[in-house]
Structure 1
Amino acid sequence: MKKHPTLACAAAGLLSLAVAGAAHAQTVSNDVVKIGLLNDQSGLFADMSGKMSIEAVKMAIDDFGGKVLGKPIQIVSADHQNKVDIGLAIARKWYEQEGVDMILDVPNSAIALGVQELTRQMNRVAIFTSPGTSDLTGKACSPNGVHWTYDTYAYASGAASGVMAEGGKSWFFITSDYAFGHALERDASAVVKAQGGQVLGAIRHPIGSSDFSSYLVQAQASKAQVIGLANGSADTINTMKQAREFGIGTGKQRIAALYMGINDVHSMGLAIGQDINLVEAFYWDQSPESRQWSERFYKVAGRMPSGVQASNYAATLHYLKAVQAAGTDEAGAVMKKMHEMKINDLMTKDGTIREDGRVMRDLYLYKIKKPSESKRPWDYYTVVRTIPAQQAFKAPDPACPLVKK
């Protein structure tokens, strides 16, 4: 019996749709896109990122619609406790046993460098929103990693340049003794020397210190015009508070905070933080878009977002858009789309991802307001100037094998 041509065509069409549907169903591994938020939820970086970053990622997932390529989006999270062995053990378990597609956040540069290498070996994706070391796009760069928010060079050079422009030519550094602090000191020192200044000395302290008196005494004794704080979060807060007790910052010596966020300013108060220059990629009150999103975040978190928390929201959305555009969660295809797509969100306009994984975006030099200048809660910054991306971030490092020679 001869088949009717119309029925034959219809049957063929249905078969091709079935095959296409089956192929599409296999584009998402384990039928779920899983994001792993690895950060500090109990230590000195908990305010900067912590549990509130989970809420930021959930907001991004909800805003995206909860699904990508027809598959659910899940988030898992863990506290790495600022211990490299614990952080890497969690990351390995997520990749090998739990099907995590992308690891996000990772404050603590030493842990981030380990996660970068593990992610490359496992062919997954890592987006680093909170670690600072510029080595992530230098000798430790990876085709599977994106350095999203800032790096030590950008923040240190921006803050140092601002202070140098105001006459601070001689420097002494108080530095946290791990990869992040070392990189901050190195990058700021390079700027100081390049602009004709002097580095008179440096002293290093253990991460998570509580007593900075001996370090401050040595810094005072150096007679440097500027005491550069190459540390972060609780260490910076404690150094600042004790420096004010020593009278530093009110006379000939001034303080330069090479890394500080709005959560740090909130914790120490404007009376201690006033007149300090700092560099940020995001401030909740910098644009209509940032204000609108930050008010939403405030309703969930009870506080305005840090730059890292806003970055976790924005990075999650960019990743999910790339998965959608790639039609798969396979790392290579997703990374290709992430590099191709412009970044336009609440904190970035026309951002791009460079071949070494560095996100190129404008940064901002702010000055912390005096208490009398603040008009409402969380009104902490006055913008000094915009730092264009090409000026904020150093040129691609030849040590990165991804950089075209």
Structure 2
Amino acid sequence: MLVATATSAIAQNGPVRLGVLTDMSSLYADNGGQGSVVAAQMAVDDFKGKVLGRPIEIVAGDHQNKADIGSAIARRWLENDNVEAILDVPNSAVALAVQGITRDKKKLFLATGAATSRLTGDECSPTGIHWTYDTYALSQGATKAISRLGAKSWFFLSADYSLGAQLEADSRKVIDTTGGKVVGAVKHPINTPDFSSFLLQAQASRADVIALADAGGDFINAVKQAGEFGVTRGQKLAGLIVFIADIHSLGLQSAQGLMLSSAFYWDLNDETRAWSKRFIEKTKKVPTMIHAGTYGAVMHYLKAVEAAGTLDGPTVAAKMRELPVNDFMTRNGRIRPDGRLVRDMYLFRVKSPAESKYQFDYYQLLATIPGEEAFRPMEDGGCSLVKKS
């Protein structure tokens, strides 16, 4: 009894723990990884390190892109380590598993790194908030823009797990509405070193556009090998989920001309530059939209905790939905009942080496896509939290 009482007292008076569950060692490590831990800590520091009179502590874990490992870490954090909220989770399969666990445990899941739009659709949660971007918004931006430039036929090269499936499904809907045609598709395993057979199929299709429905290291390898095979001489490559860390790794010579949609670019305005300068000083790397999103989600969560006066998951989640989101990345954002943060998205073109004038000067802004246009209408997602009219 004394042990139980002591444990309860520690839980109530000890640090408020936030867990960054990410990919520390594989194909998404540059997009999330240690940079997400740094971004979360920056938000804690900017919040002065305490909430409700208790110190705030960031813990980190590596899910290794495996749903069973990610689930085990999430359960341990929530059941044994007094973690109040889990963040990042760049891998849609792991994120869906974590969403289920946090829903059951009534704890916050702030999905700043995951992409699948199912998180605010059939898998939505009262304590789940999809923060940075999703497959619907990314496919809307890139696929619509390329269709408007005259592309009629498409071939999909998709990662064989939930991210690739959802990106392809969301993009196919856009292609259908714009009068285009999908002439072929192939799936590849996650973390594929050799794309030759997949690219040869794509090349043989003679599609106007080869859409890469994959991310991180897979996207980088596919683009590099497409260049080696001469695919880009006759067909356009479209990245459906592209991070600036991918462009940095590829180099402008390989990536120039690529069109992509993103929730963030470090060089967009004075506020994004000021925050990014601090991040770059700490990491020596350019921040991705996951890093910026993780900072914003932690800051908004802490503001909601303070306003609600409690750490109770459902109460804090409701307060987060109630409060507008305003930071260097998001202007007058709002969190819908299905958990989707609605904010502007951006369409960019990757600059050529000659156009780039300074370090990390990689993107030219082509268009700002209003949040209401960028994200799937709430009534179309199939979320059980949305009241039917």
Equivalences for residues 3-402 of structure 1 within 5 A: 29-251=12-234, 253-396=235-378, 397=380, 399-402=382-385
Partner Cα separation in structure 2 for residue 230 and residue 333 of structure 1: 36
TM-superposed deviation, 1:248: 2.1
What letter corresponds to residue 314 of structure 1 in structure 2? Answer: G
Contact 1:29 1:329 in 2 (8 A): no
Corresponding pairs, count: 380
TM-superposed deviation, 1:52: 1.6
Partner Cα separation in structure 1 for residue 227 and residue 170 of structure 2: 25
Unaligned runs of 5+ in 2: 1-8
Deviations 1:71-125 (A, max 9, x none): 1001110101011110000000000000100000011111111111110111111
Partner Cα separation in structure 2 for residue 191 and residue 265 of structure 1: 25
Contact 2:91 2:114 in 1 (8 A): yes
TM-superposed deviation, 1:250: 2.7
Please give the secondary structure, in 2, of the residue aligned with 1:338.
Answer: helix
Partner Cα separation in structure 1 for residue 69 and residue 121 of structure 2: 25
TM-superposed deviation, 1:360: 0.2
Please give the secondary structure, in 1, of the residue aligned with 2:338.
Answer: coil
Quote the sequence identity (%).
51
- Equivalent residue for 1:7? none
- Structure 1 residue 404 corresponds to structure 2 residue 353: no
- Equivalent residue for 1:11? none
Contact 1:256 1:276 in 2 (8 A): yes
Deviations 1:249-293 (A, max 9, x none): 233x11111010100000000011100100110100011111001
What letter corresponds to residue 56 of structure 1 in structure 2? Answer: A
How does the TM-score come out when normalised to structure 2?
Answer: 0.96
Partner Cα separation in structure 2 for residue 398 and residue 388 of structure 1: 19
Partner Cα separation in structure 2 for residue 258 and residue 122 of structure 1: 33
TM-superposed deviation, 1:30: 4.4
Partner Cα separation in structure 1 for residue 259 and residue 228 of structure 2: 19
Larger radius of gyration: 1
Contact 1:30 1:99 in 2 (8 A): no
Partner Cα separation in structure 2 for residue 45 and residue 130 of structure 1: 9
Contact 1:364 1:387 in 2 (8 A): yes
What letter corresponds to residue 368 of structure 1 in structure 2? Answer: V
